[in-house]
Amino acid sequence: MSTKKLLSPIRVGSTQLANRVFMAPLTRSRASQPGDIPTQLNADYYVQRSTAGLIISEATQISQQGQGYALTPGIYTDAQEAGWKNVVKHIHAAGGRIALQLWHVGRVSNRLLQADGQAPVAPSAIRAENTKSFVIQPDGTAANLPTDTPRALETSELPGIVADYTQAARRAIRAGFDLIEIHAANGYLLHQFLATNTNQRTDAYGGNKENRTRLLLEVVDAISAEVGADKVGVRLSPHFTLHDIQDAEAEAMGLYVAEQLNIRKVAYLHIAESDWAGSPAVPIEFRHALRKAFTGTLLYCGNYTAVKAEALIQSNLADAVAFGRPFIANPDLVARFTLDADLNTPDPSTFYGGDARGYTDYPTLKSVRDLAVQA
Ligand code: FNR
């Protein structure tokens, strides 16, 4: 099997990367408590995977308001910034590169995660009916609870949201991150502004496509002004229908956002495909249109194998591919692709929460070989 292109170097914005096998953003819910702070265990986990061309970090909340699941890390306190700085230091020492994914969940939250038990916020006061939020209850037990009905953000509050993103990006760059990824996918706040069913606003942030895109582009512009557009990536999932997203203009919106990001010369556009989780597949016509609309680095993610990824890059529809579950189970995924070796199987029961088990104990090819030599 040839993975020549997939394993070749690439420049993304101002960052040189060793290969096009990126690690997808993966929530693992192992931040230390209280305070949602990245730990040495988190650093060890990422370092094990530092041969990825680019690690994209797990989604990281920009504020307490932006949190929708317990135990996920933040980037809005000094302690969180220091925790991330330690993670990045170890990745850089290992020769790796890492982007921080900035996250505000919007309505995908529960009052138990919000300051003073307030309602979560969203473009409009519409609840995500079939969506759960992972919380630690007052008695200390964990539970997946229904999301709470959100409160619609006032127009006057939106500059504050943009400021939270900008402050988070500033902290991320101070912590040493190579790139910033703005999470505008998977039905979270920025996606809730983009989609027709979740955004029923009548101000300048709702209605037509230009208005629904306004908040995302304000965030992109503010972060670009802070850190440089060549350090900014954006993740979109136009075809995503989980978390009660029903966008009547999904593809038109995806292409419009791509054009706008192209004008702004952001470093990369990352498309999350979610047919593996029940959303419709991304049509080939859309991939071609997207390639035309966005001339920067384009990456896709979702159920890829090395062969499928190589074919997509060879066909010039993508520049790189991100791998999620394969990277959970195979810290040395790049070596395995290089050698065309078998892959470990991921264990979904240890995806979210817990300790080193199912996190830093997946075997590498080398560890298996060493054991064989000892035997
Ligand atoms: C995810 N995914 C995800 N996406 C995202 O943008 N931010 C995140 O924090 C997470 N967290 C997350 C956790 C876990 C355990 C899974 C399985 C998935 C989606 C992920 O980035 C990717 O799009 C999917 O996993 C599909 O890619 P693979 O796994 O088929 O390569």
What's the pLDDT score for residue 54?
Answer: 98
Q: How far is CA 254 from CA 28, 30, 303, 317, 354, in A?
A: 28, 32, 20, 16, 36
- The answer to whether 188 is a known catalytic residue is yes
Omega before residue 34 within 30° of 0, cis: yes
Amino acid at site 307: V
Using CB distances shorter than 6 Å, the residues near ligand 1 are 24-27, 58-59, 101, 183, 185-186, 235, 272, 276, 301-304, 323-326, 351
Whether the predicted pLDDT of 375 surpasses 80: no
pLDDT digits (tens, 9 = 90+) for 92-124: 999 999 999 999 999 999 999 999 999 999 999
Atom of ligand 1 nearest to the CA of 185: 6
Q: Which atom of ligand 1 is nearest to 303's Cα?
A: 30
Q: How many CB atoms lie within 10 A of CB 1?
A: 9
- How high is the pLDDT of residue 83? 98
Whole-number Å distance between alpha carbons of 217 and 213? 6
Q: What is the DSSP letter of 229?
A: G
Residue 374, pLDDT > 80, answer no
Q: What is the pLDDT of residue 372?
A: 82
pLDDT tens string 338-358: 999 999 999 999 999 999 999
Q: Which of 27, 191, 347 to mutate to test the pocket of ligand 1 (most atoms within 8 A of CB)?
A: 27
Total-model pTM = 0.98
Determine the distance separating the centroid of ligand 1 and the alpha carbon of 243, expressed in angstroms.
Answer: 14
Contacts of 263 (CB under 8 A, 6+ apart): none
Which residue owns the Cα nearest ligand 1 atom 2?
Answer: 26
* 206 CA from centroid of ligand 1 (Å): 28
Pairing of strands 15-17, 10-12: antiparallel
What is the number of other CB atoms lying within 10 angstroms of the CB of residue 292?
11
Ligand 1 geometric centre to CA of 305 (Å): 15
What is the predicted pLDDT for the residue at 368?
Answer: 83
Per residue in 175-217, pLDDT (tens digit) is: 999 999 999 999 999 999 999 999 999 999 999 999 999 999 9
Minimum CA distance residue for ligand 1 atom 16: 26
Percent of the chain at pLDDT > 70 equals: 99
- Residue 190: both structure tokens together: 């920025």
From 45, 46, 69, 188, active-site residue: 188
* 212-257 pLDDT tens trace: 999 999 999 999 999 999 999 999 999 999 999 999 999 999 999 9
State pLDDT tens for residues 258-299.
Answer: 999 999 999 999 999 999 999 999 999 999 999 999 999 999
Whether pLDDT at 64 is above 90: yes
pLDDT at residue 1 is higher than 70: no
Q: Cα(303) to centroid of ligand 1, in Å?
A: 10
DSSP string, 167-179: HHHHHHHHHT-SE
Pocket mutation for ligand 1, best pick of 182, 235, 325, 347 (most atoms within 8 Å of C-beta)? 325
Q: Regarding beta strands 179-183 and 232-236, do their DSSP bridges make them parallel or antiparallel, or are they unpaired?
A: parallel
Measured on CA atoms in the order 75, 269, 160, 66, is the torsion positive or negative? Answer: negative
Name all domains of the chain by residue range, CATH numbers in brackets: 10-374 (3.20.20.70)
Ligand 1 atom closest to 58 (CA): 9
Residue 23, pLDDT score: 99
DSSP state of 211: H
Residue 4 in this model has a pLDDT that exceeds 70: yes
Identify the residue whose C-alpha is closest to ligand 1 atom 4.
Answer: 25
What is the spatial distance between Cα 86 and Cα 177, in angstroms, rounded to a whole number?
11
Mean of all residue pLDDT scores within the chain: 97
If you measure from the C-alpha of residue 370 to the centroid of ligand 1, how many angstroms do you get, rounded to a whole number? Answer: 31
Whether the Cβ atoms of residue 81 and residue 33 lie closer than 8 Å to each other: no
Give the Å distance between the CA of 242 and the centre of ligand 1. 13
How many C-beta atoms lie closer than 10 Å to residue 214's C-beta?
18
Q: What is the pLDDT of residues 141-176, one digit of tens each?
A: 999 999 999 999 999 999 999 999 999 999 999 999
